Amino acid sequence: MIAEEALVHELKQKESQAKAFEVLVNTYKERLYWHIRRIVLDHDDADDVLQNTFIKVYKNIDGFKGESKLFSWMYRIATNESLTFLKQKSRKMGVSNEELKNRMVENLESDVYFEGDEIQLKLQKALATLPDKQKLVFTMKYFQEMKYQDISDVLETSVGALKTSYHLAVKKIETYLKEN
Amino acid sequence: MKKDKKNSFNTPEGYFENFHERLMDKIGKEESQLESIIPKSDGFALPEGYFNSVTEKVLSKTTESEAKVIQLTSYRKFYYGAAAIAAIFLLVFGLNWKSEIPIDFEDLANTEIDAYFETTEIDMSTYELAELVPLDHLELNDMLENDIEAENILEYLDENVEDIEDLNLDYNDYE
């Protein structure tokens, strides 16, 4: 585990910035990638959004006040970048957000970078029926095994509300999987 | 059996001693039950060596952006700026009558406004912007990177407009 404060300090100094940024990318790239991938589903899209996320982090590091953890701040940028990416994609395609989600899941069937079986595909279909916030909470808790407090820092939502969202998401997914 | 001195309820022997263990057992069982319904892995894969190459890609992009800054969408920033100024004016004049401490434009540091636009993706359509910024607040040159001289406009019209009537000019405005 790297000392976060020291890293932030180095990122803000011109002479140590490049090296510190490389450390930052290497430390967080995998976790951020999987977070983004679970939102945008497609690998190439996730790659684009991941790179944009790091570029935003790089450009805005001076504005990072340290009020939240660096990781939470980066996660928040990654979440916003992913959701904005999907919004722009649906606008470009001239379809609604829901329609886009359905198409994204359909595309998974022919995606070379999706190796899921029938159940996993069905799980993605179930996830596509959830509101954005519930889906985010579910994937962060269930797949990424994040603590509620950390999710709360990222999504700026109370722990109680997150627990409710997670519970509702689990129930909806269970029902979907049983009925379909 | 242990008796609570304050009331007549009692608990089985050792109830509180192993409460935590039993609770964790229950949580564990519920989790494994959930995993039997919802798969724990979601089946996503990625190209071989992807994580090795992505660092290089990101680093090359950040050094590139430092070397040259080309504002491909500078007009967009102007829209945001114009929308922000209009919104601030609306806010200042709209709230002034009911707030005791008047909000001054000076209260907003330029760096804060810049940082906001840098970090926030304001996803407004052209229609939303048009609603926010009235047409009579905009000049043609607001949309353009370089100002167009009146002479150039006249020259353009001279070359491209065959019939002056096509322009639908209201001559009363110019008299």
B158 pLDDT band (50/70/90 cuts)? Answer: confident
CB A99 within 8 A of CB B15: no
Q: Test B38 with A177 for CB contact under 8 angstroms.
A: yes
Single out the residue in A113, A137, A166 at which a domain terminates. Answer: A113
Q: What is the mean pLDDT of residues A109-121?
A: 89
* CATH code for the domain in which residue A153 is found: 1.10.10.10
State the angle between helix axes of B110-119 and A43-60 in degrees (0 to 180), rounded to the nearest 10: 170
B45 closest CB neighbour out of A60, A113, A178 = A113
Q: Is residue B62 part of a domain?
A: no
pLDDT digits (tens, 9 = 90+) for B83-137: 888 888 777 776 655 555 666 666 667 777 777 776 666 666 666 667 666 666 6
Q: Are residues A101 and A128 in the same domain?
A: no
Q: Which domain holds residue B27?
A: 2-37
Report yes or no on B26 lying in a domain.
yes
Given A58, A89, A113, which residue is the final one in a domain? Answer: A113
Chain B contact set for A116 (CB, 8 A)? 42-44
Residue A158 sits in the same domain as residue A77: no
pLDDT-derived band of residue B175, with 50, 70 and 90 as boundaries? Answer: very low
Partner residue opposite B121 with nearest CB, options A51, A59, A84: A84
Q: What total number of domains does chain A contain?
A: 2
Share of chain B above pLDDT 90, in %: 4
Interface mutation vs chain B, best among A11, A14, A19, A22, most B CBs within 10 Å: A22
Residue B56 lies in a domain: no
Q: pLDDT of B12-47, one tens digit each? A: 888 888 888 888 888 777 777 777 788 888 889 999
Range of the domain at A165: 116-180
Domain total in chain B:
2
Task: State the average pLDDT over residues B45-63.
Answer: 89
Of A142, A82, A72, the residue nearest B40 (C-alpha):
A142
Residues A62, A121 within the same domain: no
Residue B138 has a CB neighbour count (10 Å cut-off) of 15
Q: Say yes or no for a CB contact (<8 Å) between A113 and B57.
A: no
Same domain, B23 and B81: no
In a shared domain, residues A104 and A126: no
Q: What residues in A contact B59, CB-CB < 8 Å?
A: 18, 21-22, 25
Per-residue confidence (pLDDT) for residue B70, from 0 to 100: 54
Identify the contact set of chain B against chain A, taking CB-CB distances under 8 A. Answer: 34, 37-47, 50-51, 54-55, 57-59, 61-63, 65, 115, 118-119, 121, 123, 125
A31-55: burial string, b at 16+ Cβ within 10 Å, e else? ebbbbbbbbbbbbebbbebbbbbbb
- For residue A89, the one-letter residue type is K
Nearest residue on chain B to A30, judged by CA atoms?
B51
One domain for residues A105 and A160: no
A102 and A53 part of one domain: yes
Distances in Å between the Cα of B19 and the Cα atoms of A91, B12, B13, B27, B50 are 54, 11, 11, 12, 47
Q: A170 to chain B: which residues are within 8 Å by CB? A: 34, 38
Per the CB < 8 Å rule, is B38 touching A143? no
